[in-house]
Amino acid sequence: MAAPRCIARGLGRLSCVSTPLSSTTTRLTHAVWWSSRILPACTRTFATTPARLHGHVTPPKPGEELHVTFIDKDARTHKIAVSKGDNLLDVAQANDLEMEGACGGSCACSTCHVIVTDQDFYDRMPEPEDDENDMLDLAFGLTETSRLGCQVTMTKELDGLVVKLPSMTRNLQASDFKS
Partner 1 sequence: MASVARSWTCMACQRKALNPSPLQSRTLRGLYSTKASRHDRPFRMAVVGSGPAGFYTAYRVMSRIQRAKVDMFEALPVPYGLVRFGVAPDHPEVKNCQDKFEEVARSPDFTFVGNVAVGNAGDHFGGCTVQLDALMRHYDAVVFAYGASKDKTLGVPGESQLRGIYSAREFVGWYNGLPEYAGLAPDLTQGDEAVIVGQGNVALDVARMLLENVDVLRKSDITEAAIETLSRSRVKRVHVVGRRGPMQAAYTIKEVRELMKLHDVGFHQVDMSLVPDEISKLPRAQKRLTEVIVKGSTANIDTASRTWSLDFCLSPVGFRGGPDGNVRSTILERTSLAAPFDPTSKVSGTGALVEIPSAVAFRSIGYKSVALPGFSEAGILFDDRSGIIQNDGLGRVYTNNAADEAAPRQHLGGVYCAGWVKRGPTGVIASTMQDAFTTGDAIVEDWASEAPFLHEEPSHGWEGLKQEVDDSKSQVITWEKWQKIDKAEKERGQLVGKEREKFTSTAEMLSVAA
Under the criterion CB under 8 A, does residue 89 sit at the interface with partner 1? Answer: no
Which of 13-21, 61-69, 118-126, 150-158 is the region at the interface with partner 1 (rule: CB under 8 A)? 13-21
Under the criterion CB under 8 A, does residue 170 sit at the interface with partner 1? Answer: no
CA distances for 67 relative to 10, 77, 79, 91, 155, angstroms: 23, 12, 7, 11, 10
Sign of CA dihedral 101, 123, 130, 73: positive
Residues 60 and 82 sit within 8 Å (Cβ to Cβ): yes
C-alpha closest to that of 55 among 11, 20, 87: 11
d(CA 168, CA 158): 25
Under the criterion CB under 8 A, does residue 18 sit at the interface with partner 1? Answer: yes
Under the criterion CB under 8 A, does residue 108 sit at the interface with partner 1? Answer: yes
Among the listed residues 74, 106, 119, 157, the single contact to partner 1 using CB under 8 A: 106
Under the criterion CB under 8 A, does residue 21 sit at the interface with partner 1? Answer: yes
Backbone angles phi, psi at 148, to 5 degrees: -95, 130
Under the criterion CB under 8 A, does residue 16 sit at the interface with partner 1? Answer: yes
Among the listed residues 118, 138, 157, 160, the single contact to partner 1 using CB under 8 A: 138
- Report the interface residues with partner 1, using CB under 8 A: 2-7, 10-11, 14-19, 21, 26-40, 42, 100, 102-104, 106-111, 130-131, 133-135, 137-138, 140, 142, 168-169, 172, 174, 177
